[in-house]
Every structure is written in structure tokens, then in C-alpha cells.
Structure 1
Amino acid sequence: MEFWLSAVFVIGLMVIHLLAKNMKFLSVEPRSRFLSVAGGISVAYVFLHLLPELGEFQEHLRGTIENEFWQFFEDHIYLVAMLGLALFYGLEQMVKKSKRQNDEADKRKATAEVFWIHISSFALYNGLIGYLLIREEFADGWGKTFFFIAMGVHFITNDRGLRATHKEDYDKFGRWLLTAAVFIGWLIGVFTEVSELLISFLVAFLAGSVILNVMKEELPDERASSFSAFFMGLTAYSFLLFLF
């Protein structure tokens, strides 16, 4: 049952990337409030599910690892979350620098090299989400469903941001690569099972990455984001997570 549910959800995530371009309600001016609601949902999921789960991983793994290097991370799993946040922050700064330089040359997007580095990082990110969709130990079907919803609306926000950043390059190449990456990650999860320690690292990295990718869309003034919509998504999804 869990396999088929994950299969349905991975198809759903792929469809989101393929059809996000046609979601005309996201193109309204000022910025669609849905995107802020989506950001609130993603943040609520990270803080109320993913981060508490890291604490559970630490307790479960404590004393079971002999290697001193991995023992350090066993006791400091949140460093991996911080690394995920820092990595995507660095990528965003690289993209912005490239765009500024190209703007001076009357271009409106980053260089081809920066585009492929940026999209490749998000492909790995999507692959990680696809992998966790089948390999994460959810308590029940509801747990998997809440993961799908949180990542699905997060994909919509990411898709919107990447399209605004890379223009036609994203539609021509990027969205297809990201769509394939979700499925490839899920397919790897079907045939490969890794240790709980690595799963905890993957969850931690995802948590930090989601926080950064949400905040970069919500905080800049030019985004014209809505705090009320963000808070509504945050509180509503938090209530659902507590309820189930």
C-alpha cells in the first residue's frame, strides 16, 4: 500500500513541475497570496515534523555508531540542516552576482554555467525529496500525504522563482530536469535502502534547504509577499499536523 501511495504522490510532484507554468493565477500582480500560503505550509512542516524527527533520530542512533567522525554528527545533526541552508544561500548569491553582471551587458538572466549549476543543485534537491517519499519512515498514510502536500506547494514556489530567475532556459531545460529528478530519486529509493544515519542526514539537509528556499521568496521587498497569507498557511497547516 505504501509503495503505491508513494507512486501516486511522485507522479503528482512531477505533474506539478510540468503544469506550474500554466497556473495563471500565480501570475497576478501584486504577487499571488497563494505563494505566501505555500511558504507558510512548507515552514510549518519543517518546524513541526522534520526538525522534531531529527531529535528522534539522534536519540535512536545515540551509542550505536563506533566511528568518531560520524559520532560527532550523531550528536550534532542540526549542523547538517545548517549546511543545507548555507549551501542554497551560497547558490542564490552566485546567481544574483551573475545576473548583476549580465544586466550590465543588457542581459536579463544568469550565465549558462551558473544556470546549470543552479538547476543541477535543485535537481539533487528534488531527487532527495523523491527518495524520502518512499524511504522516509512515515507513521501512516497521513504522514506521507502531509509530506506530499508540503513539498508539492513548495515545488510550486520553487518553480515560480526559478522561472523568474532563468526565463526561457528554465522552461526549455530546467523544469524537465527537475521533473525527471523527482522520479529518479524515487526510483533509487525503490531499489536502494540506506542506513538510518544517512536518512537522518538527508532529512536534516532537506529541512535547512526548505527554510532557505522559502525565506528567499518571502523576505525581499520586491517579492511583495503577504505576511497574513504566510501566517494563515503556517497556522492552518500546523493545526492539521497536530490534529493528525
Structure 2
Amino acid sequence: MNDKRPIYTETYSRRQRLVTIAAIVLALALVVLGVTWWLNRNPRPSSRTYPVMGVRLDQSDGPQDFSSFSANMFVYLKATEGASYVDDQFAINYDRAQGQGLPLGVYHYFSFDSTPTAQAQHFISKVSAVGTLPIGIYLVAYKADLPSDAQLTASVNTFMQQVATRFNRNFVIMGTPAMLARVKTLPTTVGRWVISTSRPKAATFWQYSNGAPLPGTDDPRYQSAVFVGSQAAFAAATNKTVR
């Protein structure tokens, strides 16, 4: 006599397989949706706490028309790097941002391979106007053998002193918390632009993302930042000269 598996058992097994497959498909769909949301979310910090936001641009962002920027947004443009490089998009983006009436700042990418004096002379020779915001000095550990903290601080001080002879303007140092810690003995009048996904304990500007869209938009994506303070405090920082 042949044993025959009851038909209801086969039906139950088939249904279980279908349920399992459906659960796997649903889980994968949720993962895809979650990743999509994460990649496209706008991480802008609270506009109540940080009412003034802006972006930091370099030549990789290309020419901008700034039409999607609101009037109270600020823009920082990379102007120079080291002792010989000029950002390809600096001139056109400076003119366009200025034409839109946006609060505007420029920054220099500091090099560890040329002297601060050579870099200051290069900045002065290539930049004719520095906008309305403190001049930025961007520090990044692009190589392993960096100068000591004391040497780096002295070099940045030299650069600022020489640039200040041409532009009577305050400065802001840009970098990660680890990089900024290396120049913590700089004068308190020098602002800090902190690059971190976590809210910094103390900062003048907080760059919270290296690739976020403007509020209400999907693209393009910018190195986005907020001013740490009120609109009145931001206005007071505009066109502030060296004391």
C-alpha cells in the first residue's frame, strides 16, 4: 500500500512558502525605501535655533545662478589654494552671488607644502574683494606628515596677519573638530567653522552636511552650514573688521 501525503499538508506548505517569499520581498522593499529616505533626507538643523543657513562652494559645484537661494542665505566661495592655485569658478560665482545681494564670504584652502607668506601673497594678488563675511581659512589633513600644533598655529597666524594688511576683516577657521583642536590657541576673535554631523559645543558656523539639498528642493546638493546664532548676531558679524 502506497503512503500518500494528504493534500491539505501540501497546500499548507505551499502557502507557507508564499508567505515567506512575500515577507522577504516586503522586507527588501522597506530596506530600499529606508535607504532612499536616508540618502535624500534634508538634515538641516532647526530653523528656529539656527535661522541663518548657507553653503560652501568650490569649483566642483560649477557655476551657480543662485536663484533658489533666499535673501538671508550666505555663500562661502573657495578663492585660492596654496601659493599658486585659483578656483576656476570663483570669479563667476562671486559676481553672481553679489548680484543676488547674498551675504558673501571667501576662503583659502591652506597648504602645508608652501609657506604662509607665499600663500598670503598669492591670496592678496588674486582676490580683489572678500565679500561681507569673515575670511575663511580651510584646514584639512590631506597628508600624513602634518606640522606640529605649534607650527600650524604659527603659520595660520602669519597668514592672517599678512592678509589683514590688505583686507581689514576678521577670520574664521574651517575644519573638523580634530583639525580645529590643533589650532585652539588662536585668538578668540577668530571664528570657528566646524565640519561635523553632530552639533558642536562651540562654533561660529556649523557645517552639518557635505551634500544636502536646500530646504524645499531635491537637487543640487551642497556643503551646507548654519550660522550659530540669531539673525541679529549674523548681521553684526557682516562686514566686521579686525579689532
TM bucket by the smaller chain?
under 0.3
TM-score by length of 1: 0.26
The structure that is strand-richer by fraction is: 2
The structure that is helix-richer by fraction is: 1
TM-score by length of 2: 0.26
Higher relative contact order (CA 8 A, sep 6+): 1
